[in-house]
Structure 1
Amino acid sequence: MKMRLFTALAALALSATSAWAAKDTITLGMVLEPPNLDPTAGAAAAIDEVVYANVFQGLTRFGPDGSVRPDLATSWDVSEDGTVYTFNLQMGVTFQDGSSFDAKDVKFSLDRARSDDSVNAQKQLFAGIESVDVVDPLTVKVTLNAPDGALPFKLAWGDAVMVAPESADQNATHPIGTGPFMFKDWAQGDHITLSAYEGYWGTQPKLREATFRFISDPTAAFASMMAGDVDAFPNYPAPETAAQFKSDPRFKLIIGSTEGETILAMNERNAPLNDIRVREAIAHAINRQDLIDGAMFGYGTPIGTHFAPHNPAYVDLTDLSDYDPEKSKALLKEAGVSNLKLRLALPPPSYARRSGEIIQAELAAVGIQTEITNMEWADWLERVFKGHDYDLSIVSHTEPMDIGIYARPDYYFGYHSDKFNAVMAELDKTTDAAKRTELLQEAQRILAQDYANAFLFQLPKIGVANAKIEGLWENAPTQANDLTEVYWDD
């Protein structure tokens, strides 16, 4: 009898221990699988969604409110002329392979990102850096070729994280950073798992392990949440079922905003899309509210330029490209365009696929036929983003305040404006906040008046989570699933 009682108590204790242990693990759903895990060598948002603030850290970082905060740099000083930033680094920091982090790693990371052979997707962020110098192991000096009040903001991007020369080449498949979580495993097509790094220099996370599961199908995403196979879906891909979670006490629905300007990109290298009248005709043929209602089930904010409506510098320019199919027809006639056939390339996210079907019908109504090609993410990056082999495409640009992409000479939609470039050049060297706002608003107007793309809606952040989970971001000031403050509240 005593043996049976002991066995029963042991089993009960084991069960209780297992139940308790489960509360320091989490499984998150993700729509897209990242093509690699190196944020300094890839443009896909899914990379940062796994590793930003978790595995990798920068000198600065974005907080959940969008503010720029110290990270591996405790503070920084700026010279009077605004061209020299001196960063003071955290003490006792190590990479997850045990090697130390110091000013030499900062120099390596920034020099690597801005080098002639850099493959960094946001190389432009580092274009203003003239030199990076090690002052001592905990101090690094960054000298700019012109004043740049936005440098701490630029260094908060995932593309600006710190890497080590010993491990940088392997970060695509086995990332090694300085963050609170370290890479554990990657089952291609299924999941990536991170585990807490015991040697982390800062406050240890409350989670012991985090698994990111890749579930692209909206129906499967709903089923996985309802079955408890996934604890949270920070970017839930099925807005049509989101309301069901709101009325279920087992879950919480987290509605916020993102930096994701959703656009119908137009490849201006290809005729007749190089004709502003054709681009304007396409913009007027699209009913934004149809997209928000039909593709996003009522979630989303109409936009008329490439800028987030929640930003204080935003200008509402939607009236310049309001829904007016008769004007579209007149513009096409004026441009001498008839029987136009265009290729519409759609990446996997449901917002793109659903919006594409609606836009196809609306363009057909004004005489523009489109052939839809549904692409996997890697194919889209290779053929559209890198190869420029497309006419139209739908994608959300989720990088923070990324209006500067329109000044890039070889960017995938091929837009060029000397006037816009001049405004952005002036912005780069302006530190006065009021003047920066004026320049940002002028840049927005230029893009809207040039019909650089068809601007559709700001992507909402629709999150679904177990009701006991705390600490997930409501808004998305950058592409991230920051787990540093996430815990289970029993």
Structure 2
Amino acid sequence: MTFATARRYAFLALAALFLGAANPATARSDLTLAMVLEPPHLDPTAGAAGAIDEIVYANIFEGLTRIGANGEAQPALAKNWDISPDRKTYTFHLHQGVKFHDGAAFDANDVKFSLDRARAPDSTNAQKGLFEAIDQVEVIDPATVKVTLKHPSGDFLYSLGWGDAVIVGRTSAATNKEKPIGTGPFKFQNWAKGSQVALARSSDYWGAKPALDKATFRFIPDPAAASAALLAGDIQAFPSFPAPESVPQFQADPRFKVEIGTTEGETILSENNARPPFDNPKVREAIAHAIDRKAVIDGAMFGFGTQIGSFFPPHHPAYVDLTGERKYDPELAKKLLAEAGYLDGFKTTLKLPPPVYARRGGEIIAAQLRSVGIEAQIILVEWAQWLEQVFKSRDYDLTIISHTEPNDLNIFARDDYYFNYRNPAFKTLIAEISATPDGEKRNALYGEAQKTLSAGAPVAFLMQFPKIGIWDAKLEGLWKNYPIPANDLTAVKWAE
């Protein structure tokens, strides 16, 4: 290379350096993250699947309140509220200038429409119990709504923060399953069935603008594929990673951040209490003693997860450790089965949805049940089948599922819930909890409710599901914990 040529290259390199300094690279503003399950649709007010909220909660749809990263109820579409001395009347003051993504203006009439729709006799809302306390919803003016309760409800503001309680538009509610239209910072862009859902930032958003321009949710149920997609950079985040066996590999890789957090997901072996032999309490007790929870957690989740003895999260201040009430004891399980009239055991079926904890855990539990004389035939079902057959039609014997909704102890008080569990004493406790505003008294009642469930053994309580989050080390703002099944993108950004 001649001196003149070298000087020319040096000049070009120096010019490029100055141009780069004058025109810095645009910060990254897109994100592709992954989920295990594809939702059946995208309307959180018309379905029980947590996968719906994982996409739309706080991103597309908003409620009067919202659940924050630490599990607290915060203002959302309602900027503040007044509560009457008897705690039966809530007056909500709404943000003004808010629009739905189709351009329709949001006001108090949408709040009344949404709450009345959710609690109507023909409502398809999966959590109608959230609205049971509401007596009347009144529009005072376009920016003010008054909600009168039948009785005080200590959880009311928290309940309004669930995905099932988001505010929907009067003209767009009917089509939200396929084309969700909310007031959130992101608007729905497209849904490639079987592959992904894409969101784009809403330019008309009323609140603080998110840093991301675009977010794509990909569906990757296979654990090996999940690891491969992260390592290849095809996705930048898997907030609820399905391959716990691969966690050490990512912890050792500086390109990634690994966050082990908590969820509200009580993972259980559900039993159809209306079907023989599960209508017999001794049979249910036997099953509870036939299961080695630690073996399930170690085998299915590689040690990630916390044993539970009732339907309550260990991180809650009202938690009571009841794991000792149903210790692993195969001989006691056999004795209880004999007392119930099943000396030689019985045959049953175990329907398992796609998540790894269910499929892997199901194999382990089936073997444990077999050792006490219960032959459980494993039937693998897809997510849509599970929702239709098990959750909706209650056509099952046994199944494994993680209930990820927050503060949902009351589902065991619902006569029409898929457990088919009936316990008047428990229903009374739940009613007392709902009507008790004092925190200390409520926690004491929560403790009694946990003990009542443990004694009745309506299901076999397995573990509190962990949140294993893995994402690009330069990504900030994703939740470590899951106080609600949601991937809130409002504060997510790439580090500069």
- Give the alignment's TM-score, normalised by structure 1: 0.96
Deviation at 1:13, TM superposition (A): 8.5
Equivalent runs, 1:300-319 vs 2, <5 Å: 300-319=305-324
Matched, 1:332 2:330: no
Report the equivalent of 1:361. Answer: 367
Report the equivalent of 2:260. Answer: 255
Deviation at 1:20, TM superposition (A): 2.9
The residue identity in structure 1 corresponding to 2:470 is V
Matched, 1:472 2:478: yes
Distance 2:347 2:335 in 1: 17
Matched, 1:153 2:158: yes
The residue identity in structure 2 corresponding to 1:347 is P
SS in 2 for 1:37: coil
Deviation at 1:99, TM superposition (A): 1.0
Distance verdict in 2 for CA 1:374–1:18, change over 3 Å: farther
Distance verdict in 2 for CA 1:166–1:71, change over 3 Å: same
Report the equivalent of 1:416. Answer: 422
The residue identity in structure 2 corresponding to 1:443 is A
Report the equivalent of 1:402. Answer: 408
Equivalent runs, 1:54-203 vs 2, <5 Å: 54-203=59-208
The residue identity in structure 2 corresponding to 1:42 is G
Deviation at 1:427, TM superposition (A): 1.3
Report the equivalent of 1:351. Answer: 357
Distance 2:142 2:88 in 1: 22
Q: Which one has the largest radius of gyration?
A: 2
Distance 2:83 2:192 in 1: 45
SS in 2 for 1:456: strand
Distance 1:323 1:145 in 2: 44
Mind listing any 5+ residue stretches in structure 2 that lack a counterpart? 1-7
The residue identity in structure 2 corresponding to 1:234 is P
SS in 2 for 1:20: coil
Deviations for 1:377-415, whole angstroms, at most 9, x for unmatched residues? 000000000111111000000000100000101100111
Deviation at 1:252, TM superposition (A): 0.6
SS in 2 for 1:116: coil
Are the counterparts in 1 of residues 185 and 209 from structure 2 also a CA contact under 8 Å? yes
Distance verdict in 2 for CA 1:171–1:19, change over 3 Å: farther
Distance verdict in 2 for CA 1:365–1:93, change over 3 Å: same
Correspondent of 1:278 among 274, 283, 306? 283
Report the equivalent of 1:437. Answer: 443
Correspondent of 2:325 among 302, 320, 324? 320
Deviation at 1:126, TM superposition (A): 0.5
SS in 2 for 1:441: helix
Equivalent runs, 1:260-271 vs 2, <5 Å: 260-271=265-276
Report the equivalent of 1:231. Answer: 236
Cα root mean square deviation, aligned: 1.9
Distance 2:493 2:348 in 1: 48
Deviation at 1:98, TM superposition (A): 1.1
Report the equivalent of 2:467. Answer: 461
Report the equivalent of 2:297. Answer: 292
Distance verdict in 2 for CA 1:214–1:18, change over 3 Å: farther
Deviations for 1:221-275, whole angstroms, at most 9, x for unmatched residues? 0000000000000000000001111010000101100000000001011011011
The residue identity in structure 2 corresponding to 1:326 is E
The residue identity in structure 2 corresponding to 1:219 is A
Matched, 1:390 2:396: yes
SS in 2 for 1:406: helix
Distance verdict in 2 for CA 1:390–1:18, change over 3 Å: farther
Deviations for 1:52-80, whole angstroms, at most 9, x for unmatched residues? 00000000001001111000011111111
Distance 1:59 1:268 in 2: 36
SS in 1 for 2:448: helix
SS in 2 for 1:447: helix
Distance verdict in 2 for CA 1:17–1:144, change over 3 Å: farther
Deviations for 1:301-345, whole angstroms, at most 9, x for unmatched residues? 000000000000000001111100000000001111134011101
The residue identity in structure 1 corresponding to 2:349 is R
Distance 1:245 1:92 in 2: 45
Distance 1:487 1:440 in 2: 38
Distance 1:339 1:48 in 2: 41
Count of aligned pairs: 484
The residue identity in structure 2 corresponding to 1:354 is R
Distance 2:380 2:367 in 1: 16
Deviation at 1:18, TM superposition (A): 11
More deviation in 433-442 or 210-219?
433-442
Mind listing any 5+ residue stretches in structure 1 that lack a counterpart? none
Distance 1:168 1:261 in 2: 31
Correspondent of 2:380 among 360, 374, 379? 374
Distance 1:282 1:339 in 2: 11
Distance 2:407 2:131 in 1: 16
Deviation at 1:152, TM superposition (A): 0.2
Deviations for 1:409-441, whole angstroms, at most 9, x for unmatched residues? 110011110000011111111111111111111
Distance 2:175 2:192 in 1: 17
Correspondent of 1:204 among 202, 209, 220? 209
Distance 1:459 1:438 in 2: 24
Distance verdict in 2 for CA 1:281–1:99, change over 3 Å: same
The residue identity in structure 1 corresponding to 2:486 is A
Distance 2:111 2:214 in 1: 28
SS in 2 for 1:295: helix
Matched, 1:38 2:46: no
Distance 2:336 2:53 in 1: 41
The residue identity in structure 1 corresponding to 2:252 is S
